[in-house]
Structure 1
């Protein structure tokens, strides 16, 4: 039996969900594979059938499993549908060493997803030995080709100033929280940094623990904002509800998923170590 931790403050169904999620992400259960039956899982974890049902519901909502009437519960094929960032990020913070690299426009989605695991560290419910966060955003002090005004496709300094404020609000909140965890002694090695690059990304990229990648496109849409007191139509990058596609490395370095993670790391490091620089705060 895989006994649950009696000192873990999380309810049993969350512990079971976390255990099964880890098994799926590390491919102990392969895509398309059938999970053990409810009674078998109940016996395995020493919990009630209702607890297993609640755990499976969590995994189903995350897009990791699918229930087939009369057949059972199966690990969802990776290409069937995208999955959410938040549960994977929260699971990553259960590891001893946590690394999160982000490249994108504002960091708003990451700010929302990372807040809970950082709060859990502050509350003593998670105790990673190290946390490293790197944030790569566009330089607001140089002209942009996008976003641009609808009328004339021109760069807008006023819009860049507005976007800079949004970037600061989300990215600096992440950096300050991570660094504070180190200062308080809650994480032995806590480091977070923001850098800007001279190009505006048309996508968002998250690399988690050098094992998972989430990738999503920024669609260009017309967006009217008030700049210098006047409504202005902007071709904007709208990424808050962008669908993220997930790739998870496995033991075989030659698989597409493993190569995707490896190449994403190479791309991020190449930008971070060459043309990026400290962003004015």
Structure 2
């Protein structure tokens, strides 16, 4: 299979690799359920560093096109025959003068990945929004909540699992804060604001509200999942965002349509949590 980069493409190599993999998956060069070549093999095929391949694989994973199986490799998802749909909408809203994103979910890992390309385009002058505002609602892992929880039911172990997830969430949250707010510091946008708050509910679903007109919503399935805590392995019940199917709702201008009503209610729900029980998070 021929996979090569275009020397005239101005995008960073990892974005070109991600685009090539995306096209290969959606074009059925890699079939649903098929194992992708290893990272070293892909690096050789594209003539790039392994780290570049890792960044590209993270993008197609965040798009829902692939799934990792521990000890086996990375596979094309069975439902990847159709586009995931979220990434093009994220990039499209950055073409407007004013960009708003409200996100609620488990961690902001996927959101951080989705923002990479539009932020790079702003830095290179290919996108020129005037203002950006992102609000992020995450579960408060400093107090007992239903998930993640140790399968054994031991609260000490459950607290360790929550602490682990808190660390993961904090890293991605800091990345979003730094990369977005940097745009204002560089004078590339007039205003760039990222706000993050936490709440006491378990992470059972995620939603992206894009500029008040589109909502992508999906439930988190709960699975038994083994994680590493120090030198030990801990069996937990946890929400797995990579296995969630996103449903798209759009405001079509008809206030009576199901899509418009869902967008309105999603925004109302988000604002109500944000303005009442949510408290400031520390990125």
Q: TM-score, normalised by structure 2?
A: 0.68
Question: Once the 2 structures are TM-superposed, how far is the Cα of residue 95 of structure 1 from its aligned partner?
Answer: 0.9
Q: Within the alignment, does 1:181 sit opposite 2:166 as a pair?
A: no
Separation of aligned partners in 2, 1:163 and 1:220: 15
Q: Within the alignment, does 1:200 sit opposite 2:202 as a pair?
A: yes
Gaps of 5+ in 1: 1-8, 11-61, 63-80
More divergent stretch after superposition (81-90 vs 169-178):
81-90
Question: Is this contact kept in 2: 1:96–1:130, CA < 8 A?
Answer: yes
Deviations 1:150-180, CA, capped at 9 Å, x for gaps: 1127471111111011101212211111111
1:64-79 → structure 2 map (5 Å cutoff)? none
Question: Once the 2 structures are TM-superposed, how far is the Cα of residue 230 of structure 1 from its aligned partner?
Answer: 1.7
Choose from 205, 211, 214 the match for 1:212: 214
1:207-246 → structure 2 map (5 Å cutoff)? 207-246=209-248
Q: Within the alignment, does 1:107 sit opposite 2:108 as a pair?
A: yes
1:1-281 → structure 2 map (5 Å cutoff)? 83-152=84-153, 154=155, 156-281=158-283
Question: Once the 2 structures are TM-superposed, how far is the Cα of residue 231 of structure 1 from its aligned partner?
Answer: 1.2
Separation of aligned partners in 2, 1:96 and 1:136: 24
Question: Is this contact kept in 1: 2:219–2:245, CA < 8 A?
Answer: yes
Separation of aligned partners in 1, 2:148 and 2:127: 39
Question: Once the 2 structures are TM-superposed, how far is the Cα of residue 263 of structure 1 from its aligned partner?
Answer: 0.2
Separation of aligned partners in 2, 1:213 and 1:153: 37
Q: How many equivalent pairs are there?
A: 204
Separation of aligned partners in 1, 2:186 and 2:243: 34
Question: Is this contact kept in 1: 2:123–2:183, CA < 8 A?
Answer: yes
Gaps of 5+ in 2: 1-9, 12-62, 64-81
Separation of aligned partners in 2, 1:159 and 1:264: 29
Deviations 1:59-83, CA, capped at 9 Å, x for gaps: xxx9xxxxxxxxxxxxxxxxxx884
Larger Rg: 1
Separation of aligned partners in 1, 2:108 and 2:264: 22
Deviations 1:73-128, CA, capped at 9 Å, x for gaps: xxxxxxxx884211110111111110001000011111111110011111111000
Which 4+ stretches in 1 moved above 3 angstroms? none
Separation of aligned partners in 2, 1:280 and 1:189: 21
Classify the secondary structure of the residue corresponding to 1:240: helix
Q: Call closer, same or farther: CA 1:241–1:115 in 2, change over 3 Å.
A: farther
2:37 is matched with none
Separation of aligned partners in 2, 1:227 and 1:198: 23
Separation of aligned partners in 1, 2:217 and 2:83: 10
